Amino acid sequence: MRTKKVKPPPKKYEYVLDISKEHDGVTKRDYISFRFQTTKEFLTFKYILKIESKVEEKNICFNILGFSAPIGDLSDYGTAGYEYRLFDYKLAEYNILVDKKDSDKSKFKMTVQRSKTRPVKLSRIPKKSFIEIKGEHDS
């Protein structure tokens, strides 16, 4: 007698985007970090997310293209990830667009402030989206 494969329940989001202000100890410069991660865990490889990024003045666009297999001899498991570092930022409001293979889009605003407690403020985050958007002081 065969047993049915039990599928895990569908996740609310496909991706998570963590945005925070960080410091690079090598170059001694601050930057805004955009860390993308899948919510799905892969059993064979720890894939690399392929994302095309474009920065034009106050507009930042991320186009999620897909996955690529890691280069190496040993396989590992886990979520797929990608990090973009924005070094030459200004204390201003940015329009952020995250586009998934020309099918889903998510737009929101990010304000970079002089504040030490909350240097990155996110606003106009869409309620229904394929990506969960979090700032460093969001829970």
Q: Is residue 11 very low, low, confident or very high in pLDDT (cuts 50, 70, 90)? A: confident
44-92, pLDDT tens digit by residue? Answer: 778 889 999 999 999 999 999 998 887 765 667 889 999 999 999 999 9
Per-residue model confidence (pLDDT) at position 44: 79
pLDDT, one tens digit per residue, over 16-48 is 999 999 999 999 999 999 999 999 988 877 888
If pLDDT is split at 50, 70 and 90, which confidence band does 138 have?
Answer: low
Q: How far apart are CA 104 and CA 85, in angstroms?
A: 23
In this structure, the number of other CB atoms found within 10 A of the CB of residue 35 comes to 16
B/e letters for 66-81, b = 16+ CB within 10 Å, e = fewer, are: eeeeeeeeeeeeebbe
Mean pLDDT of 106-112: 96
Work out whether the CA dihedral 104, 106, 107, 110 comes out positive or negative: negative
H or E segment to which residue 19 belongs? strand 15-24
For the whole prediction, is pTM greater than 0.85? Answer: yes
